[in-house]
Amino acid sequence: MIELPPEVVPNNAEPSLMDFGGVMKPATGGKALRVDRLGNRFKATISLPPMENKANGRVVVSRLIRAKSEGIRIEYPLCGVDQGSPGSPRVNGADQAGTEIALKGFRPGYGCGEGYWLSIETDGQHYLYNAAAPATADGAGELTLTIYPPLRAEPADNDIVHLQRPMIEGLVMGEEQGWNISLAHHVSIMFEIEESE
């Protein structure tokens, strides 16, 4: 799994939800029916600021070329939202599924706000989720969090939960990966990352 140098930070991101469900509209004008399917996940188009080619530009190009076949992991941009100091959150118990997950290891009283982003690291892979409702850790540092989309991979007990630096991980999409080299020897790059499962 490829990661960009830590000093390379996106200057623009366009996240979106990939929804595999749909709406069934009857031909005779009856009630429309929403059909949900498992597997909803996120993708994002990422723009990086111009970088000097002799410094980070060439390194980022090299990593993105390899990421086409190896995948990429980048920090999901929180856009100025401070998600606080949660402690060391982890999954609390195995055999969990759906849109609620039991977590532990929080700082007692930590408040996870609606719209917070988190990634759950399962078997070394990050899965990105959004907190669908606020929740507060009890005195033992435990809370049950409502998330969306539903869990896509069954987390194991003690899997790490990333709230301060959630990650989006997946494939670099498109048939090719291009970049722009200016006459000032700067490299500009845009790419799309899509969670693969």
Cα dihedral value 182, 187, 192, 193, nearest 10: 180
Question: How do residues 132-187 score in pLDDT, each as one tens digit?
Answer: 999 999 999 999 999 999 999 999 999 999 999 999 999 998 766 677 777 777 88
Phi-psi region of 121 (alpha: psi -120 to 50; beta: other; left: phi over 0): beta
- Which residue has 């140098």 as its token pair? 5
**Domains defined for the chain, CATH in brackets:** 2-21+34-77+169-194 (3.30.200), 87-165 (2.40.30.290)
Place 117 in a pLDDT band, splitting at 50, 70 and 90: very high
Q: In which band, very low, low, confident or very high, does the pLDDT at 96 lie, cut at 50, 70 and 90?
A: very high
Over residues 125-134, the pLDDT tens digits come to 999 999 999 9
- What span, in angstroms and rounded, lies between the C-alpha atoms of 154 and 36? 19
pLDDT, average across residues 84-112: 95
Share of the chain above pLDDT 70, in %: 98
Over residues 18-27, mean pLDDT: 87
The C-alpha atoms of residue 145 and residue 113 are separated, in whole angstroms, by 10
* Range of weakest confidence among 19-23, 39-43, 81-85, 89-93: 19-23
List of residues 6+ apart from 71 with CB closer than 8 A: 1, 2, 169, 170, 171, 172, 196
